[in-house]
Structure 1
């Protein structure tokens, strides 16, 4: 009886949930909600000047310089790698203030935290001084408040918002609604706009890995991403503008006032006021505003580091990828990356936060490895201790043997507390504890990571993960894992590629099955040795011993090694029940000394003399996360297509 009663209650409630989830606005209601938003839009103007009172900007001047020397035969550009989160925010705010005509912003995640609200406030100021502002967000990861979206729908005549590919015709979905969407609309649910772009006046663009959330700008005091953006000024911005327009005008991009929840709010209550944001650290936001007005600071911190380059290519999947019966036919970004990697002769430097390769990618690297003189493949990715996507790492762990032996990868896994990361610790408001690793355990003075051990709200950030389809999995499945010690944690999120120190790529593609099949992706390709060298240096910094562990084969056991290897290989190929406990590879730490003055690659004859094994999951509190990791390794292969 105790079991039957809950089932009966669920059966009684389920029809109501289905009806609520599938409810829609009538065309008349949608039109009325849109009219309410339109009528409420302010025409307030804070500027009558033709240039919209734009702030002079040395970043914006880069575009003028590039266009002035560009010819049809020889386009010229300036490119600036934005490694530091605070620099990435500084560039955005400064460019927004420099806009004279248009600002187009396209993103996957837009959170209502300090970073998101600071940028939103700057966009609204630009709209009020006469700049046309368009904000396009993926629906699953857009602003979490229906009230905020309702307010933005009627905030100003120069400010427009659209949500890409809304499931169930809603701006926000609850957990039960998500489950219903997964049951009825699995393909649509997975088709996400992962493209990220900020475009000012059709002349300067920023693209790369960063979304709009504190974690991406060194503004979170617990977990921040080591990410990378690229600012490009010059003619390629026109291609970016065409691509943005294709997304903006696509039928999947819907004004929030025409969606069920926002529309009903408008019909019932009108357009609410956009409330002032209560900044967690208002002094930090104010300091950023002041820095963005300092032309000398922007010049020295950013512009002086820009590189003059020639032709620049912007590759983007475009929204047609989501209309096609065969998405791979429209996976422009994936095809471009494959062609670049196939062109390698000496080395491929690949950086991805989630090393879960699609079957075509695996076949590509297998072909490269079978060449008589294969290129070296160096991969920078997350460790289990650093990642924000535990399930993705568990699947990566499953295929380590294949990556090392069949593809010849040199894998470097990012540490959660890197010693030399381009992270502004002062901006986070936190600190990295001083800690010297030992082969046994952290020193007694290293405090345990109690907050994550207790699974507090500190790490309950479902939007941090790039995996839309797994967003509503149990929170313990997709969050940073508990560690042995506390401190602000750094996770890899950069997506970059360098071919033979001659071609550099910065984009949004994680080099994973989702990027091939479900997500729209974009990337900037620059065929310039100086740029490729600078990007390569940035990645090599990430894989240095101070910042990463090396993955290499374990020492061979004294007996029955061949049998153990064969059983492990057979177990790896099983889609489920991959239960063999001994894995082919483990993590190694560099031990400098008189005989080991410099780091060595894992295939060097003296590698084992200079490196010591530190276990499969260094820094991780194995009592709390080791078993689940192995379980997902054993049973999670079916998730690979949506990862």
Structure 2
């Protein structure tokens, strides 16, 4: 070991030791006492029953579902939330309508406009007399210690806990992360990925969205195309029980008892709630006003609700993180059961197409069945993804996905032309942009409907109609300037993405890659599944090794054909030619194509090294024409006649990233267990 390396390790150890020393029992008790003493007990509402709650249309639906349910015939209302603004409106409506309790559980909670808006609403509810419990994962939530200290001291009705705080802290720095990786690798990687908002125990919301501007179409440079599911009815009893299990788990620590938050309280007392001015105060005011408009809520939310019967909530518990735990997680086991039950089609949407070995074995067995179902996958392209390194590993196994599993893969474009995104809300375009592009969008919509096979045309027509409504995206090529005061994608701090921990690998491996043209970019983040147009699933599980083995996950399963068709239509809209490229086999070499294929397959099997430079598959763009009125799938004989190859990484301006792609393609297989 060189002297420089020894010195670096010694300095790192000293920093970690000095910064991570936990509080003693007496100090923890005193920090908690300071927080408790500072908590306001005054209520701004004197109605002990309704607690001055605003009438909530969504909560009212849940009450109706409970009233109509019997033990043998449960009734539910389900609302699929594709639009970011609708997802934010639903949350505001539920919080303002809460009368007894609000339970919020999440992985990421940023301190941007949307995050502070939700915090303001939660504290307002607490001051009305509503019990508010907030549970966040350590690595990606509330980055300022002052914010944490202020929240634990804010009000007697507001409680905050942090899940799995490695090193006994709420926040950790880069050196601390390295130290934690060295001493506590398994604990560091076991994260709470569940997302839930539960109001009064009767209406709940889960899905892919975290609390950050980019999940609600409020970022001016990069936003997620995501999906939530809201359910009202008896299934929320299971959701409540699951939240309670996390809340009382030994890994869920009151924030005041963590060393950094506790020291802040011990040294300086309880701080005022820090709140920088909103970057876009008029936008915050607009959505706040809309959330109190019953007509608008009816049109955008209530009218889209689907009445269903039985609903299943599947979720992991903190038991998944017990030392030595090896049993198959409940969420993973149930999802595999559903996939294996398919007779005709598995429609899967995931942002990160990286499969665990058991999942690969399952899909291989499905494909080998004589009557095996068609498997269609909607996922990210390299140009759209927020996680470069996970795409690199997915890229390594494209041959396996197509040949051995029989997947039809559609990769989301960074500039989709027909997507459920509120472009106005991003503030990425100047006023009046819609007038110049509406005609093009209408033409795109007409062409999209002609580009769908007859079996799915009705479903996609419904989806396309939804995606081109009053607040739809009709063009996405935009100036790349951020809104005043708003952070750009490059300015974001670490640990604000789904694969946040990989940011510490450096070299930008967990950031969107540079593109050939500027514009407001979108990346797929929804995690959904449709089985045979009869069962629909929306949840937090990325269908990846992290979800199988490391993260706790949850999902809502609805065995209702109407809901399944609606969910399938939404996913298929994302796979339209104007929204996605399709992956297909590369044209065979004129000579020795069999040798080339065999060498590539052999190289792919190596656990760490994959040196073969020629890939089996590439990306294709649909080329409509007289003989190609609709895009045939990649396993159709006419596929190549109706598509043109656009390269392995369309829209990407790789530069040095091209070298990184090869590096992580070659070495990425060893990272599969943590990806």
Deviation of 1:15 after TM superposition, in Å, equals 4.2
CA shift for structure 1 position 13: 2.5
Distance 2:671 2:481 in 1: 30
Q: Which residue of 1 aligns with 2:461?
A: none
365 and 461 in structure 1: CA distance in 2 versus 1, 3 angstrom threshold:
farther
> What SS does structure 2 have at the residue aligned with 1:636?
helix
* Contact map agreement 1:203 1:233 (CA 8 A) in 2: yes
> What is aligned with 1:424?
422
Cα distance per residue 1:551-572 (max 9 Å; x no partner): 0001111100000000000111
Paired position in structure 1 for 2:317: 318
Q: Secondary structure at the match of 2:522?
A: strand
Q: Is the 8 A contact 1:449 1:483 kept in 2?
A: no
Instruction: Please tell me whether residue 241 in structure 1 is matched to residue 225 in structure 2.
Output: no
Q: How many Å separate the matches in 1 of 2:398 and 2:321?
A: 32
Secondary structure at the counterpart of residue 505 of structure 2? coil
CA–CA distance in 1 between the matches of 2:93 and 2:421? 20
Q: TM-score, normalised by structure 2?
A: 0.91
Q: Counterpart of 1:440?
A: none
- Tell me the equivalent position of 1:181: 180
Q: Which residue of 2 aligns with 1:443?
A: none
Contact 2:478–2:520 (CA under 8 A) maintained in structure 1 = no
Deviation at 1:636, TM superposition (A): 1.4
Q: Distance in 2 between matches of 1:278 and 1:360?
A: 49
Residues 520-566 of structure 1: CA distance to partner in whole angstroms, max 9, x if unpaired?
Answer: 00000000000000000000000110100000001111100000000
Separation in 1 of the partners of 2:100 and 2:479?
52
Describe the shift of the 1:529–1:297 C-alpha distance in structure 2 as closer, same or farther (beyond 3 A).
same
Q: Does 1:580 align with 2:579?
A: no
Cα shift readout 1:273-325 (whole Å, capped 9, x = no counterpart): 00333111000000011000001110111001100000000000111111152
Between the aligned partners of 1:97 and 1:61, the Cα distance in structure 2 is 13
Match of 2:123 in 1: 124
Counterpart contact for 2:35–2:265, Cα < 8 Å: yes
Uncovered stretches (5+) of structure 2, i.e. residues with no partner: 445-476
Cα deviation, residue 326, structure 1? 2.8
Structure 1 residues without counterparts, runs of 5 or longer: 438-445
How has the CA–CA distance of structure 1 residues 424 and 450 changed in structure 2, closer, same or farther, with 3 Å as cutoff?
A: closer
**Alpha-carbon contact 1:449-1:484 (below 8 Å) kept:** no
Question: Secondary structure at 1:96's aligned position in 2?
Answer: helix
- State the match for 1:78 in structure 2: 77
Aligned to 1:299: 298
> Which of 619, 625, 631 matches 1:593?
625
Q: 1:532 to 1:424 in 2, by over 3 A?
A: same
Equivalent residues, number: 629
Q: 1:99 to 1:594 in 2, by over 3 A?
A: same
Going from structure 1 to structure 2, the CA distance change for 1:337 and 1:95 (only over 3 Å counts) comes to: same
Structure 1 residue 346 displacement after superposition:
0.2
Q: Distance in 1 between matches of 2:117 and 2:360?
A: 41
| Residue in 1 that maps onto 2:556 | 524
Q: In 2, are the aligned partners of 1:448 and 1:484 still within 8 Å (CA)?
A: no
SS of corresponding position for 1:622:
coil
Please list, as runs of the form range in 1=range in 2, the aligned pairs for 1:273-352 lying within 5 A after superposition. 273-329=272-328, 331-352=329-350
Which deviates more, 5-14 or 625-634? 5-14
Q: Measure how far apart 1:476 and its partner are.
A: 1.0
Checking the alignment, whether the CA contact within 8 Å between 1:222 and 1:430 is kept in structure 2 is yes
Kindly state the Cα deviation for residue 79 of structure 1 after the two structures are TM-superposed.
Answer: 0.2
| SS, match of residue 59 in structure 1 | helix
TM alignment of 1:64-143, pairs within 5 A = 64-143=63-142
- Matched residue, 1:609: 641
Q: CA 1:227 to 1:457, structure 2 compared with 1: closer, same or farther past 3 Å?
A: closer
**C-alpha distance after superposition, 1:362-403 (max 9, x if no partner):** 000000000012110000000000000000000000000000
Q: CA deviation at 1:639?
A: 0.7
- The CA RMSD over aligned residues, in Å, is 2.0
> What does residue 270 of structure 2 align with?
271
What CA distance in whole angstroms lies between the structure 2 residues aligned with 1:14 and 1:419?
Answer: 48
SS at match of 1:239: helix
Q: Where has structure 1 moved over 6 Å in runs of 4 or more?
A: 432-437, 446-451
Cross-structure match for 2:499? 467
Instruction: Give the Å deviation of 1:24.
Output: 1.0
Q: Is the 8 A contact 1:469 1:642 kept in 2?
A: no
Name the structure 1 match of 2:394: 396
Hey, what's the Cα distance between the residues in 2 that align with 1:5 and 1:574? 36
Alpha-carbon distance in 2 for matches of 1:171, 1:11: 24
- Correspondence 1:217-236 to 2 at 5 A: 217-236=216-235
Q: Does 1:410 align with 2:405?
A: no
Tell whether 2:198 aligns with 1:199: yes
Match of 1:550, SS state, is strand
CA shift in 2, pair 1:12/1:554, >3 Å? closer
Following TM superposition, by how much is the alpha carbon of 1:624 offset from its aligned partner in structure 2, in angstroms? 3.4
Q: Secondary structure at the match of 2:277?
A: coil
Q: TM-score, normalised by structure 1?
A: 0.95
From 353, 371, 374, give the equivalent of 2:372.
Answer: 374
Contact 2:582 2:634 in 1 (8 A): yes
What's the CA shift for 1:327?
Answer: 3.8
Alpha carbons 1:113, 1:214 under 8 Å: kept = yes
Q: 1:256 to 1:363 in 2, by over 3 A?
A: same
**More divergent stretch after superposition (541-550 vs 601-610):** 601-610
CA contact (8 A) 1:350 1:497 kept: yes
Equivalent residue number for residue 441 of structure 1: none
Residues 40, 271 of structure 1: 8 Å contact kept: yes
Pairing 1:465-504 to 2, within 5 Å after superposition: 465-504=497-536
1:189-234: CA deviations, max 9, x gaps? Answer: 0000000000000011010000000010000000000000000011
Matched residue, 1:154: 153
Cα distance in 2 for residues equivalent to 1:169 and 1:191: 15
